[in-house]
Amino acid sequence: MKPPAVGADEAARLATQRSHEGLGPPPELMFDALIKLAAKILKVPIALVSFAGIDDQWFKSRYGLDAPETSHDVALFCGHVVAAGAPLVVPDVLQDARS
């Protein structure tokens, strides 16, 4: 996968993220019903609320995935979202130009 560009405000984004207590683990169970509903409506097997850090991404809520976090090297689509500052829809990861 092609690595995302690093945004000019990356240091500020990470500082803001660190300043908010409670963003990291454990998961937020109150989001689980919302994530499950999103997965059902969108007909997708996995739905997540995730936060991308420097070395990893962690999931505040997850549906269809057991892992509580992943390393940064497999969170590259999240990096593309952060760099673009906009939602990202990937209909087929295998056909995506960033893959």
For the stretch 10-35, pLDDT in tens is: 667 666 666 665 555 566 677 888 99
User: What is the C-alpha to C-alpha distance for residues 12 and 14, in angstroms, rounded to an integer?
Assistant: 5
For the stretch 82-96, pLDDT in tens is: 777 788 888 887 888
List CB contacts of 89: < 8 A, sequence separation 6 or more: none
List CB contacts of 25: < 8 A, sequence separation 6 or more: 58, 68, 69
Q: Where are the beta strands (DSSP E) in 1-99?
A: 47-52, 56-63, 69-71
Q: Read off the pTM.
A: 0.61
Residue 64 has pLDDT above 80, yes or no: yes
Query: How many CB atoms lie under 10 A from the CB of residue 59?
Result: 20
Share of the chain above pLDDT 70, in %: 67
